[in-house]
Copies of this chain bind each other. A is one copy, B any other.
């Protein structure tokens, strides 16, 4: 099967694309072929509904293109899932988002999950998505590490430390029993966060939304299923 990753921002450096793709390839099954594309025009990062709005036309264009190129499914590489529902109205191939995939997986393996994201100002987007997706009764809280997307790679240790701290608060104060990393830029850190929590006797799963999205896409293609076409835009 062939999956296309849509990076819904304009990448600052060309090698980022290769790096992201490499991450995806390390997750996907051996029989999955993956390709990646980023936007020609749009925001450099998505940290608000404003950024998300600006990214949507580009995302839609790339997804429609992917369908024409005979990809089996598309994956939007951002926890905010920009244009996820809009895209599903216009293509027949499955479109999955990291946010929806991560939140539903969390809802399935625990009682209440918390999302730890980058900045407070993206909280409204995540909370509203949870509500529209129908999982807000399972959402304990959305917390942030207070580090912008473009700074996530600057100090990996600080990031992990803050993720563990916020996850701990989410478990103890908000009643979470599953943690979801709330930014695709945090890919690869779920293991370290889980380890940190287990050291504190907090035995909860930590979900990397990128991985959840890949598995969701693979599953849909395996099953020959796609989004409902009931309200589609013919």
**Structural contact, B109 and A226, CB atoms closer than 8 A:** yes
Shortest CB distance A107–B (Å): 6
- Say yes or no: A48-B233 contact (C-beta < 8 A), given A54-B56, A211-B223: yes
Q: Beta-carbon contacts of A40-80 to B below 8 Å, as 1s and 0s?
A: 00000001111111101100100000000000000000000
Interface residue range, chain A: 35 or more
- Say yes or no: A86-B230 contact (C-beta < 8 A), given A132-B131, A134-B107, A137-B134: no
Nearest B residue to A120, CB-CB: B231
A89–B54 Cα distance when bound, in Å, is 13
- Say yes or no: A123-B231 contact (C-beta < 8 A), given A60-B50, A107-B134: yes
**Structural contact, B216 and A204, CB atoms closer than 8 A:** no
**Structural contact, A229 and B203, CB atoms closer than 8 A:** yes
A168 within 8 A of B: no
A17 within 8 A of B: no
Give the interface centre of A51, A85, A171, A220 by most chain B CB atoms within 10 Å: A85
A202–B230 Cα distance when bound, in Å, is 7
A87–B229 Cα distance when bound, in Å, is 30
**Structural contact, B86 and A52, CB atoms closer than 8 A:** yes
Q: Beta-carbon contacts of A105-141 to B below 8 Å, as 1s and 0s?
A: 1011111000000001101100110011111011000
Which residues of chain B are near A29, meaning CB under 8 Å? 29, 222
A145–B12 Cα distance when bound, in Å, is 47
A232 within 8 A of B: yes
Nearest B residue to A87, CB-CB: B50
- Say yes or no: A54-B60 contact (C-beta < 8 A), given A132-B128, A203-B232, A231-B120: yes
**Structural contact, A212 and B203, CB atoms closer than 8 A:** no
**Structural contact, B204 and A229, CB atoms closer than 8 A:** yes
Which residues of chain B are near A208, meaning CB under 8 Å? 223
A127–B87 Cα distance when bound, in Å, is 18
Give the interface centre of A89, A107, A108 by most chain B CB atoms within 10 Å: A108
Q: List 8 A-B contacts (CB under 8 A).
A: A51-B233, A54-B56, A100-B108, A101-B108, A105-B225, A109-B226, A120-B231, A121-B232
4 nearest A-B residue pairs (beta carbon) = A177-B230, A215-B219, A110-B228, A203-B229
